[in-house]
Amino acid sequence: MMEYAKNLSQRLTPQSAKLPGTSQVANSAGGFTWKLDAWGRLDRLLILGTEGGTFYVGERELTIGQAENAIKLIQTDGESVVQRVCEISESGRAPKNDPAIFVLALAAAFGDAATKRAAFEVLPKVARTGAHLLKFAAEADELRGWGRAMRRAVGSWYVEQTPAQLAYQSLKYQQRNGWTQRDLLRLAHPKAPTSEHDGVFKWITQGDADQAGPQIEAFEKLKRIEDIAEAAELIVEHRLPREAIPTQMLNEPEVWEALLQNMPMTAMIRNLATMSRVGLLTRKSKAEKEIVGRLTDASLLRRARVHPLQVLIALRTYASGHGLRGRGTWSPVRSVTDALDGAFYKAFASVEPTGKRIMLAIDVSASMGWTPVAGSPMTAAEGAAAMAMVTLATENDVQTMGFAHTFKTLGLTAGMPLNTALKKTRKTIFGATDCALPMQNALKQSLEIDLFVVLTDNETWYGKQHPSEALLEYRRRSGIDAKLAVVAMAANPFSIADPEDPGMMDFVGFDASIPQALREFALA
Ligand code: CA
């Protein structure tokens, strides 16, 4: 006999239907999930960006959806949006600064007078380098054009740098996104506050280096030098960055040895492969000792605001021994890959274990093997595995599982090399998505779990029960008031976490502050 109530029971609502009495919406895979609130969506944009799109939605469509959401927020509470942009940009929580610059340009274009003023006021805090400023100019030029306020803000950026900072920034970032420092200076036309500024301005706008200061003078001199030892000396003495070096010198190990002396941490991490390729960074070399020393220094890493995702990308590329687009081959030095492995964990602020029983469940369905993380060459599944490794390294009572439409063992263990963890995850990618499996599986196996951490793109659709309902059922039948942390690996607007239940919460994947945030949630 048919049981009428059974058809209404939330426990048995398939993911392809909306949970009765909730505000769920269809996700891109045709399953029903909650729609994240506008501020949550903004955070996903600021931290994950939309570069590369997702498995379901192209980059353009994802960007338009996110921009519309941001504009709506800017028009209702623009000053808070500017503040949020500033907070996330300055804290170094996001792998890339580009989304912050984009939202700042949106605020400068679509905000009311007070919002525009706020956006221009924080410009130097968000656009911390010449590259950031060029990027902002390119975005703002498309969105709003150059008004008086924009000219003044860009002009102040130049005026507020010291002459030495300005020389360095304009040597390092001469052009980006079709814009040059010369374009910006000519449009903004700021009045030079000192004669040293005036000298740098003249070099930028007219190429006249006479009064541009010692670093730019050295840069001009370097163009005429042929002797490598002499060039190296000039590079060290004037702290010239790689971007200021003539191309034909960039295959010389002596030049790289000179560059390494004053190389910023992020540049060093990006150039490891090149330094090995040119023969500077080899086993038992002086450079090896220097580089490993810096990579293992936690305070250096933090001061340089190195984001863990940058380290992970560098590790994955460097250890592979060949460039992405056929940019040569090299022999990776083992101590360097080991140091990068350690640096990944150090780039997160360290946290104490919670003592909770934790289940880390990684969505390894097909979409996770395709969606890029924060516009990087890493996939969402790889990103999720790396985040799982951070929890494994901290907590004492953790189990991991992979899932798609069925359960898969991943075999991740604490201390396993990150590259092995990524490889294992890549090999596991399969099938459709059922985000209820972690809770159902724990129940079936009588596992005692306080916190389920589900790392996913929230495109669940396959299962016969919603993940939120699976959690409620787990709580009911186990007697444990278990929580669900959803770590979102794609910047879409969906979440499997019920916003009405304080025991379920949404987090943004590859936010550098995730370990603290998860800890607070677990202990709350
Ligand atoms: Ca999927």
Q: List Cα–Cα distances, 283 to 294, 298, 341, 409, 442, in angstroms.
A: 16, 23, 17, 37, 47
Domains of the chain: 38-193 (no CATH), 269-347 (no CATH), 358-523 (3.40.50.410)
Whether residue 207 contacts residue 224, with contact meaning beta carbons closer than 8 Å, is answered with no
Q: Which residue in 378, 380, 320, 314 sits closest to 347, CA to CA?
A: 314
Rounded CA-CA distance 496/485 in Å is 10
Report pLDDT for 3.
Answer: 63
Report how far residue 29's alpha carbon sits from residue 460's, in angstroms, rounded to the nearest whole number: 7
Residue 43 CA to ligand 1 centre (angstroms): 22
How is residue 331 written in tokens?
């022999």
Query: How many Å lie between the centroid of ligand 1 and the Cα of residue 371?
Result: 10
CA of 83 to the centre of ligand 1 (A): 34
Distance 459 CA to ligand 1 centre (A): 5
Dihedral angle computed from the Cα positions of residues 120, 126, 127 and 131, in that order, rounded to the nearest 10 degrees = -140
Give the C-alpha distances (Å, rounded to integers) separating 250 from 267, 277, 397: 15, 11, 49
- Nearest-angstrom CA–CA distance, 402 and 361: 6
Give the angle 139-161-143 at the CA atoms, nearest 5°.
Answer: 10
- 32 CA to centre of ligand 1 in angstroms: 13
Q: 512 CA to middle of ligand 1, Å?
A: 24
- The CA distance from 426 to 418, in Å, is 12
d(CA 122, CA 82): 8
CA of 305 to the centre of ligand 1 (A): 32
Report CA(454)–ligand 1 centroid distance (Å). 13
Residue 19 to residue 296: CA distance in whole angstroms: 49
Q: How far is the CA of 53 from the centre of ligand 1 (A)?
A: 14
pLDDT of residue 237: 98
* Two structure tokens written together for 134: 């060029």
Q: How far is residue 494's CA from residue 442's CA, in Å, rounded to a whole number?
A: 24
Strands 175-176 and 179-180: antiparallel
- Find the 366 Cα to ligand 1 centroid distance in Å: 5
CA of 278 to the centre of ligand 1 (A): 42
| CA atoms of 62 and 438, how far apart (whole Å) | 28
Task: Enumerate the β-bridge partners of residue 25.
Answer: 33
Question: 309, 373 in Cβ contact below 8 A?
Answer: yes
Ligand 1 (ion): which residues have CB within 5 A? Answer: 365, 367, 433, 459
- Number of C-beta neighbours around residue 211 at 10 A: 15
Do 481 and 416 contact (CB within 8 A), yes or no? no
- Closest residue by Cα to residue 254 from 226, 285, 228: 228
Residue 6: predicted pLDDT: 55
For 222, the enclosing helix (H) or strand (E) is helix 214-222
DSSP sequence for 377-401? SSBHHHHHHHHHHHHHHH-SSEEEE
Distance of CA 105 from the midpoint of ligand 1 (Å): 33
Q: How confident is the chain (524 residues) per 10-residue block, as mean pLDDT? A: 56 88 94 96 96 93 96 98 97 95 98 98 97 97 95 97 97 94 97 98 96 97 96 98 96 98 96 97 98 96 93 95 80 97 93 96 96 92 96 96 93 95 94 96 97 96 94 97 97 95 96 94 96
User: Could you tell me which residues come within 8 angstroms of residue 194 by beta carbon, excluding any fewer than 6 positions away?
Assistant: 163
Cα–Cα dist 155/139, whole Å:
17
* Distance of alpha carbon 384 from alpha carbon 361, whole angstroms: 9
Q: Which two tokens stand for residue 161?
A: 């740098």
The CA 431 to ligand 1 mean position distance, Å, reads 7
What global pTM score does this model have?
0.93
292-302, pLDDT tens digit by residue? 999 999 999 98
Distance from Cα 100 to the centre of ligand 1, integer Å: 28
Separation CA 471–CA 361 (nearest Å):
13
How many A from CA of 283 to the centre of ligand 1? Answer: 42
Question: What does the pLDDT read at residue 328?
Answer: 86
Could you report how far apart the first and last alpha carbons of the chain are, in Å?
A: 45
